[in-house]
Structure 1
Amino acid sequence: MRLSELIRISFRALAANKRRSFLTMIGIVIGIASVVTILSLGNGIKAATVKNLQADTQGQQTAEITFNPTSSSETDAGFKESDIALAKQTAPDKIKKVVIKHDKERLQVNGQLANADTMMSVTLVNKAKPNIQLNAGHGFSQDSLQADGEDAIISKKLAKKVFHGNAAALNSSLELGTKNYNIVGIFSPPKTPYSALDVDVLVPEKAYRAGQLSQEGRKLAITYTPGSDVSKLTKDVVEKLKKSGSERRSGEYSYFDYGELLKGIGNVISALTLFVSAIAGISLLIAGVGVMNMMYISASERSQEIGIRMAVGATPAEIMKQFLLESVMLTLTGGVVGLIVGALTAWVIAMFLPFKPVVTLGSVIGTFAISSIVGILFGLLPAKSAANKNLIDILKS
């Protein structure tokens, strides 16, 4: 019997029991829809996470190279303008911008306090009221936050060490770089978020930058054109800096490869998505049992039809093909409907989330493959049972 004829007979048999076929198919629809929804949202999370980590706010790819001095006395060592030019020479057609980034916290600065050189940990602030607990004096004014500001706040620990108390420390002079500051306040590290960082001095960032002869920084931020191989290009820049960088003899240049990090994050998200999808896929097993039950009932109810077909020359193989085809048609139809429902559900859920779902070609192919496999596996025994019916027994009944 031709395949087209088998399909026509199978479709007619399923249509003869519309309600039973529909209720059986619902299980397949729910199972496939659940898996497709989870996979689509998981792929969306993965794509959004990788994109956010890989690109800046303008969608450009960026990377940072860090300079680590080998000696704690190298407080002024860092990237210079010559390093910017050197980095740009590595791939001028791929590198859009190179800038030196300045640290703001725990800067190790050699300054003068009470006419003595003192190594201090300095944190730069941009707020008139930083999140600190003042022990004496007052905080910064809006004017002191400007480039010509001269106010500084020191820790209670530093005040005790150098001035032996808060009273003597207030209104004393502090020299950092080429700028003199007036100590206007004392803060207590144990009661502030700076305590864990062991900060000695707080000064306004603009005022501090204006008082530095050198505008060197410990980080070099590189912006690449979209589509560039960030990992490879940045490694090339690091190698060039190691050979010709301005501070190559004073420390080391390093780069944290975000490409490997992104790959690891992507693998974790994919594994979690597949795990949750596998749990949701358990419903497909339950639906498969429903398909098997329906096909057994159908084979039992259609004994007369099977007997007539055998009497006119149908072979057991043809009977088996027909019932297998009915099972596969049922699960495939449920799979297609489940794919559509799952994709729509993912898009509806994503309306309340900061990313878009991603329905991949693999999900579509997987839907058809899983639906076919469920139809074959759970339709095989009922089809075999129908094919093995004895014509004499059917005629007797």
Structure 2
Amino acid sequence: MIALKSIGKNKNRNFLTMLGIIIGIASVICILAIGDGFTHTMIKGMGNHNMRNKVIIQWEPTSDYNTDGGFTQNDASALAGIPGVDHVKLTSSVAEAGAKAQYKTKNFSIGLNKQPKHLKLVKGTYFTMTGASNGVYISEDLAHKLFKENAINRLISIDGTIYEVQGIYHIGSMEYRPDAYVAKTTFKQLFANQIIKDQAKIYVNDGASKKQIGKAAVKRMKQMGEEKKTGKYSVSNPDQISKQFTRILNDVTYFIAFIAGISLLIAGIGVMNVMYITVSERRKEIGIRRAFGATSSDIRNQFLIESVVLCVIGGIIGMILGYILVSIINAFLPFKAVITPYAIILSLSVSTAVGLIFGFIPSNKAAKSELVGLLKEE
């Protein structure tokens, strides 16, 4: 309470002193929010990987000309025979097929996939296409390339087969989708043969060592794999890749936040300066308190608390300003910036630390003032 009263006596001067703290904290809050939001969006786009009781073996071609390899059913049977393995499922790391889309004289290479369970359309009506349907959903970008006007119910050719446009969907700048979706049956009949099975998902029994099974699987494929001459086998860990990617993004965010936080150093010097002025102006008060028995520690704590309170108030205002700025920035970002509890705790900790560090020297000077010297001045 005493600290607040002392700060209130010089509102304008103390506000200008806090301004550096406010700007610095608001900048750090904004940068951390943008970095955390971008990281969250990218990791979400990469997908969540449930690796419990699962080992993934990846096949990669040793040459750009040998891309038709992968795992076969014989490979799956060989992997299933490893002790501790429950069953094996062959999949592809890329489920998208390539195709040529054509409308009149316009021709484009596109990525194509089977119809998902849910798809939000900006035009048209979504329904589940059954059988060998000739319907197709296309992206806004592809619709704009092929058609100048409404694309709904138009006919386009994809690899020589005619399809009717049933709907158009939007692809956000921070998400990935293929250019078109066709019925599952159609995709399986016409396009699935393009996709190689370059991943073997090995499901292990409870209690079995995933690490040992992974090593045994790679060793067996190197010996028995039908495509061992055209490619190489390795254990794939998508969770580890996601963690490394997250760590890199976080390191970049924290580095930029640190650069922005340099302004807090300048603000801290301003706090030290104003505390020196405060000590000089209140030497009479210090002398009276010392005369009535206040110890050096009491004097030091009084001015140190004022310094901390000054910085914490600036930090709180900076956080409020940062929250407002993040809300405004979110209107222009392709992803949502997120203010995490970590950013709030860090901001409060930094503002408190600035008050302690830069307020200590002036406070210590006040504490060491000799009573005799103070009384002589008066």
* TM-score normalized with structure 1 length: 0.58
How many residues are matched? 293
Asked whether the 8 Å contact 1:54–1:62 carries over to 2, the reply is: no
- Conserved in 2, the CA contact under 8 Å of 1:97 and 1:222? yes
Once the two structures are superposed, the pairs formed by residues 92-111 of structure 1 within 5 Å of their partners are 98=91
Match of 1:272 in 2: 252
1:23 shift after superposition: 2.1
Shift of 1:288: 0.9
1:209-266 per-position Cα deviation (integer Å, ceiling 9, x unaligned): 9899x958533467999xxxxx979958964972897726655453554444434433
Alignment CA distance shift 1:391-1:95 (3 Å): farther
State the Cα RMSD in Å: 4.6
Query: 8 Å contact 1:54–1:258 — kept in the other structure?
Result: no
SS at match of 2:248: helix
| Uncovered stretches (5+) of structure 1, i.e. residues with no partner | 1-7, 105-123, 133-140, 148-208, 226-230
For 1:249 and 1:379, the matched residues in 2 are separated by 68
- 1:386 deviates by 1.6
Residues 87 and 98 of structure 1 are in contact (CA less than 8 Å); yes or no, is this contact kept in structure 2?
A: no
Task: Report Cα offsets for 1:191-210 as digits up to 9, x if no partner.
Answer: xxxxxxxxxxxxxxxxxx98
Counterpart check, 1:290 vs 2:270: yes
Task: Give the equivalent residue in structure 1 for 2:168.
Answer: none
Shift of 1:362: 3.0
Structure 1 residue 330, shift from structure 2 partner: 0.8
Match of 1:65 in 2: 58
Cα distance in 2 between the residues matched to 1:272 and 1:75:
36
Which secondary structure state, in structure 1, belongs to the residue aligned with residue 350 of structure 2?
Answer: helix
Give the superposition deviation at 1:51.
2.4
Instruction: Decide whether aligned partners of structure 1 residues 142 and 53 sit closer, same or farther in structure 2, where only a CA change above 3 A counts.
Output: closer
Cα distance in 2 for partners of 1:389, 1:335 equals 31
Contact 2:100 2:108 in 1 (8 A): no
Partner of 1:346: 326
* Conserved 8 A contact 2:222-2:233: no
Query: Is 1:126 the equivalent of 2:100?
Result: yes
Counterpart position of 1:161: none
- Aligned match of 1:30 in 6, 9, 23? 23
**Amino acid of the residue matched to residue 369 of structure 2?**
K
Distance 2:157 2:213 in 1: 40
- TM-superposed deviation, 1:334: 1.4
Cα displacement (A) at 1:43? 1.7
Q: Higher mean Cα deviation, 260-269 or 23-32?
A: 260-269
Query: 2-side partners of 1:369 and 1:257: how far apart?
Result: 37
**Does the C-alpha gap of structure 1 residues 41 and 215 become closer, same or farther in structure 2, counting only changes over 3 Å?**
closer
Residue aligning to 2:196: 218
Partner of 1:254: 233
Instruction: Show CA shifts across 1:57-92 (max 9, x none).
Output: xxxx9988335489x8x9975444566788899999
Shift of 1:103: 9.2
Whether 1:361 and 2:341 are equivalent positions in the alignment is yes
Q: Which amino acid aligns with 1:46?
A: T
Amino acid of the structure 2 residue aligned with 1:126? K
Q: 2:13 — aligned with what? A: 20
Structure 2: distance between partners of 1:211 and 1:382 = 79
> 1:10 maps to what in 2?
3
Q: Deviations over 1:319-341 (max 9, x none)?
A: 11100110011111212222232
**Contact 1:67/1:218, CA 8 A, preserved across alignment:** no
Structure 1 residues 78 and 383, CA, compared in 2 at 3 Å: closer, same or farther? closer
Check if 1:394 corresponds to 2:374: yes
Per the alignment, do residues 322 and 89 of structure 1 end up closer, same or farther by CA in structure 2, a change over 3 Å counting?
Answer: farther
Moved more, 237-246 or 321-330: 237-246
Shift in Å, 1:31: 0.8
> Which structure's CA Rg is the greater one?
1
Change (3 A) 1:39 1:306: same
Equivalent residues of 2:92, 2:196 under 8 A apart: no
Contact kept, 8 Å, 1:100 with 1:216, in 2: the verdict is no
Check conservation: 1:39, 1:277, Cα contact below 8 A: yes
Alpha-carbon contact 2:91-2:197 (below 8 Å) kept: no
CA contact 1:96–1:223 (8 Å) conserved in 2: yes
Contact 1:62/1:221, CA 8 A, preserved across alignment:
no
Cα distance change on mapping 1:19 and 1:81 into 2, 3 Å: same
Name the counterpart of 1:137.
none
Deviation digits for residues 96-115 of structure 1 (CA, Å, limit 9, x no counterpart): 984696897xxxxxxxxxxx
- Amino acid aligned to 1:50: I
User: What's 1:331 paired with?
Assistant: 311
